Every structure is written in structure tokens, then in C-alpha cells.
Amino acid sequence: MDFSIIIPTHNRAELVVRTVAAFLAQEGADFEVIVVDDGSTDNTIGRLQQMADGRLHLLRQENRGLAAARNTGFALARGRYVLFNDDDIIPEPGFLQAHLELHRRYAPVAAVSRTQIPDTLGQDPFTCFWRARAESGVRGRADGALLGRGGYWFASLSLERARLPANPFAPFAGYGWEEHELGLRLWAQGIRPRLAAKARATHEDRVNLEGMLHKFRSMGRMAWQFYRMHPSLQVALWTGANPLSLALKCWAYPWRVAEQMLQNRAWEQGARAGSAYRFLLEAAYTQGLLEGRGG
């Protein structure tokens, strides 16, 4: 078997059904799809059971978070490669075949899918900003291009199963850095992230400023957990989890200014909205760093 596709999900029945259906329609590779329902309270399992495909395996666990759900799915994987795919990443035709081709060309490799936020998710100022930001690291890059140490921040990535430990993902207490932490270990093994440009998918995740500020604040808190796991200068500088970086961030991105901006958002319609969004996200991350430093 070529691939074990591992899809964690929580209370997003409509999205995960679309994602699974798109995978089951893939050609050019032998695969199984493992969906781990992380304590959903909607009809996720019932909807998936109606698909009745022998390649689809359904697991259910109490709500323990993304890392635990991925690890649960990995424990049952049988394919030569595992593809970790979020429940809102819907593959286009030829997706698995493109991953397979990249593994054959560059082994060992971490193959990163080419995901795009579709126009149908909105044209409001923040969605446009986030669409450009999310795609900036891969836009115009050739198939097989190296993505650097930050390239493991993924929503859809495949790896050779035998190169991963029994529980690939470390349990972080909140959102943020678990993929980078795995990536740090993969990089040390010589496994580099490369863009599978022909493995195209739509990222059907509706975003808004409030939700993303919450995520960045959590990332700031989790930065200290990442640093405690890997207490090195590299991680300290990468995450900002050190006194000097934190002091500079507090000076450059004061939260009191962010709060004023959030109270009156007329700036969103102006030409500098993108700069303002970047400031707010950095300010939220800095707040998280302040909150997490003593944890």
C-alpha cells in the first residue's frame, strides 16, 4: 500500500465528508483513509459511515486535541507513506500521484501539498490578507522546491512511515508549534520539506481576525513549551522565547495599541490594512509570550 491518509476531525462533519470523498476519488495510488474523530458532538461518524468504502477506517476518541488524534491514526497506519491531512484540505485530482512522484524523486523527503484558499471563502479585507500571507511562501515556487526549516508548518504533508517514531507529535497544551517541533527532529535526520506543487488542494477554512488573534496568542504561550523541549539558541530565536526578543517585541507591538485598533476598525478599508493586520498578529503573539513565560 502506498499511502495511509490520516485525517483528524472535530465537529466539522460537512467539511470532513467532502475531504474524504475527494480522497476516495483519487487515482494512481493504493491507499487507505483513517479518520480520527476527536470527540465530536455532531453527526461526523454517522455521515462517514454512510460512505461504506472498504478503504475508509473510522476511529473515535475522547477530545484530546490534534496531536493525539494524529498519533492515534498513525498507530494504525499500514502504508509506506503517511499523509497527515487536515479535515478542511480538499485534494484535487492527481493529488496522491503528485505526492508519490515527489517521494520517488527526492527520498527521504517531507512532501508539502500546494494548498490555496479559494475565492469562494470571501473577499473581505482580512480574508484577502490571510490568503496572500498563507500562499506567500510557495507562490511561484517550482515543484520539488526546498522550503527551509519553517516548511513543516503544514495542513497536508506526507512522509515515509518508517522514519517516524511511534508517537510523532508531541502533546502541546494549546494551538501552535507542534508541527515545527516535529520538523526540527525531521531536519536533524536530513528529511527536508519540499513543495509538491502538483499536489493541489483547496483549504476550506473560513478565517477571521478574532479567531486568528486567538491562535497567535496561543502560539506565543506554546513557544515556551517548544523551547523547554528543545532549549537551544536556535529555538529561542525562532520563537522569541527569550528575554531580549520578548523585550523587543513588547516595545514594537504593545497590546494597548492593538486594543485601540480593535475598538475602531475603520483602518480596515484603507491601503495600510495589511500592515495593521501584521501588527495585530504580532501583538497577540507577544501577549502569548508574556502569558506563557512562567508556565
What pLDDT digit, counting tens, does each position of 157-167 carry?
999 999 999 99
pLDDT-above-70 percentage for the chain: 100
Q: Decide if 1 contacts 83 (C-beta within 8 A).
A: no
User: 143 falls in which pLDDT band (50, 70, 90)?
Assistant: very high
Q: Which of 60-64, 147-151, 180-184, 235-239 has the lowest mean pLDDT?
A: 147-151
Q: Decide if 243 contacts 196 (C-beta within 8 A).
A: no
The mean of the pLDDT values for the chain is 95
pLDDT of residue 166: 95
Summarize the confidence of residues 77-86 as an average pLDDT: 98
pLDDT-above-90 percentage for the chain: 93
Report the alpha-carbon distance of residue 139 to residue 253 in Å, rounded. 28
User: Is residue 154 over pLDDT 80?
Assistant: no
pLDDT of residue 21: 98
User: 88 falls in which pLDDT band (50, 70, 90)?
Assistant: very high
Which residue segments constitute the domains of the chain, with CATH numbers given? 3-203 (3.90.550.10), 209-292 (no CATH)
How does pLDDT run across 106-129, given as a tens digit for each residue? 999 999 999 999 999 999 999 999
User: 150 falls in which pLDDT band (50, 70, 90)?
Assistant: confident
pLDDT of residue 175: 92
Sign of dihedral through CA atoms 144, 1, 205, 62? Answer: negative
How does pLDDT run across 175-211, given as a tens digit for each residue? 999 999 999 999 999 999 999 999 999 999 889 999 9
List the 56-61 sheet strands across, edge first.
56-61, 31-38, 3-9, 81-85, 156-160, 109-116, 192-203, 89-91
pLDDT of residue 235: 96
User: Is residue 64 over pLDDT 80?
Assistant: yes
**C-alpha distance from residue 93 to each of 26, 159, 174, 277 (Å):** 6, 20, 34, 34
User: Is residue 41 over pLDDT 90?
Assistant: yes
User: Is residue 231 over pLDDT 70?
Assistant: yes
User: Is residue 232 over pLDDT 90?
Assistant: yes
User: 72 falls in which pLDDT band (50, 70, 90)?
Assistant: very high
Close Cβ partners of 202 (under 8 Å, ≥ 6 residues apart): 89, 90, 92, 115, 116, 117, 118
pLDDT of residue 136: 86
Q: Decide if 77 contacts 191 (C-beta within 8 A).
A: no
pLDDT of residue 73: 98
Query: What b/e readout covers 85-110, taking b as 16+ CB neighbours within 10 angstroms?
Result: bbbbbbbbebbbbbbbbbbeebeebb
Q: What is the DSSP string of the chain?
A: --EEEEEEESS-HHHHHHHHHHHHT--SS-EEEEEEEES--SSHHHHHHTT--TTEEEEEE-S--HHHHHHHHHHT--SSEEEEE-TTEEEPTTHHHHHHHHHHHHSSEEEEEEEE--GGG--SHHHHHHHHHHHTTTTTPPTT-B--GGGG--SEEEEEGGGS-SS-S---SSSSSHHHHHHHHHHHTT-EEEEEEEEEEEE-----HHHHHHHHHHHHHHHHHHHHHS-SHHHHHHH--SHHHHHHHHHHS-HHHHHHHHH--GGGGSTTHHHHHHHHHHHHHHHHHHHHTT-
Summarize the confidence of residues 95-103 as an average pLDDT: 98
Report the alpha-carbon distance of residue 184 to residue 170 in Å, rounded. 12
pLDDT of residue 128: 95
Neighbours of 244 (CB within 10 A): 10
How does pLDDT run across 266-295, given as a tens digit for each residue? 999 999 999 999 999 999 999 999 999 976
